[in-house]
Each structure stands twice: as structure tokens, then as C-alpha cells.
Amino acid sequence: MRRRSPRRLLGVLAAATAALTLFSSASTAGAADSATTAARTAAAQSSDTAAGALSTSTPVVFVHGYTGDASNWVTAMSVFRLNGWAGSDLFAYEYNSYGNNITNAQGLAAFVDDVKARTGASKVAIVNHSMGGLVSQYYLKVLGGNTSVSHLASIAGANHGTTYAGACLIYTTCRQMYPGSSFISEITSGDETPGTTRYATWYSACDGIILPYTSTRLDGATNNNVLCQTHIGFLADTVVLGQIARFVAS
């Protein structure tokens, strides 16, 4: 067997040590983020256990974004069914993307009441996307809807607005969605996650529509930073949608 020179062996060891150090630093940073998320999840799950955990019988109301409709939720509903929900407990709320989000939130309130009456449930879960975050937040915070909502999951929600809305300011909904609007101020002032509702968000730096992308985060919520997902791509992301189904079932 050919013997390596001491100098060559030292070079190999140095390279291996540098690689190990770099990997360890990245792993430590990732582990810290994971540990924080895990701690929040564990605390929330512990709270649920004490209060009585919900099951997959909880009706789910999906709220689309700007220019969206019920078809946006085809994949999400499939994922929820795979996670144990009956199709009869999954509902998609549709509203006017060009009208007024106050009116849209009032419509959501009536829709939730109808779902509760039809299913006999005392509460529903809400899953929203994009501008649906504004509609949902107004309902929960301003209209007191948090008493009827067990879980709120916001996917790339425009919860603190997006400068992208500057492209459609001729519409009331877009003016309300622009950062600094009176509408945004109303839903973000004080407690952003009122009541006993459990709140969680999913957002990504690759979003491209929610600008800044951190706009989705809510104080008091479990905020999940997805490595890289586009705004529309979230609607077909079965990994994220599976996480949301499990969150709602917890």
C-alpha cells in the first residue's frame, strides 16, 4: 500500500476539519430555529391537552386571496381529507376581490355562522391565503369572530399589507391591503392574536407578492418560515398543507 506523506495527511485533516466546522455552524443555526419552533409547538400542544384537544371533526373554512376563488383550495381539501377530515366538513368562502374587505369580513361572519348551524359545531378553523388574511383578521379581531374560531392558519397572508398592492390601488381592497392603510392599522394595533384562538402563519422569502415577506407574521402566533416557496406555490405545497392540517387537528 502506498503511504501518504505527513504533509498530505495534515492537508486532508485540515480540509476535513474546516468542512466539519462549517457544517456544524449551519446545523447549529438550523437547530436553534427548529428548537424554538418545537418549543412553541410543545407548549401549544400541552395547552390543548389541558383544554381538550380538537379532532378532525372540526369544520374548516378556507378563505382565498385577491382574485382567487374556491378552486384555489382543491389541493388543500385533498390533503385535509387524507388527514382524516370528511369532505362535508370542508368549506370554501368566496367574496368580492374588488369590493371592500369590511364587507367581505362581514360575509365571512355570516358564512361561519351558517357552517356552525349546518355541522352543529361550536367553532370552526380558518385557513386563509394572501388577502384572505385581511378578511380573516378583521373578522376575528374587529367583529369578535375569535369566539367562533378554534384555529387560524394564515398562508402567505397580507396581514401587515404588501407594497405589491400599489399595482391595483383603483380598488378599495388593494388600498386597504397597502402597508400603513387605516384598515391595516385597525387589525394590527394592540393584540394581533386575540382570544383563545390558536394562530399560526407560514411565509417565505421567495414569496414575491407579499412585500416584505415578513408581513405575514403575527405577534403571538407560531410563525413558520418556509425555506423557499412562491406565493401561488403555497396552494399546491402538500408538505405545508399537511403541517396546517396537523396544526388544526392538534
191 catalytic residue (yes or no): no
Is 57 assigned a catalytic role? no
What is the DSSP-derived secondary structure letter of residue 220? T
Residues 6 or more apart whose CB falls under 8 angstroms from that of 240 comprise 155, 202, 226, 229, 234
45 within 8 A of 156, measured Cβ to Cβ: no
d(CA 162, CA 38): 29
Which of 207, 215, 237, 250 is catalytic? The answer is 207
Query: The sheet that has 222-226: what strands, in order across it?
Result: 90-93, 60-63, 124-129, 149-155, 198-204, 222-226
Q: Which run of H or E residues covers position 63? A: strand 60-63
As a whole number of angstroms, the distance between CA 125 and CA 140 comes to 11
Label the pairing between strands 90-93 and 60-63. parallel
Active-site residue identified among 130, 136, 204, 250: 130
Pair 201, 219: CB distance under 8 Å:
no
Catalytic, 207? Answer yes
Catalytic residue selected from 64, 151, 160, 231: 231
Q: Which of 79, 145, 134 lies closest to 104, judged by CA?
A: 134
Question: Could you give the residue numbers annotated as active site?
Answer: 130, 207, 231
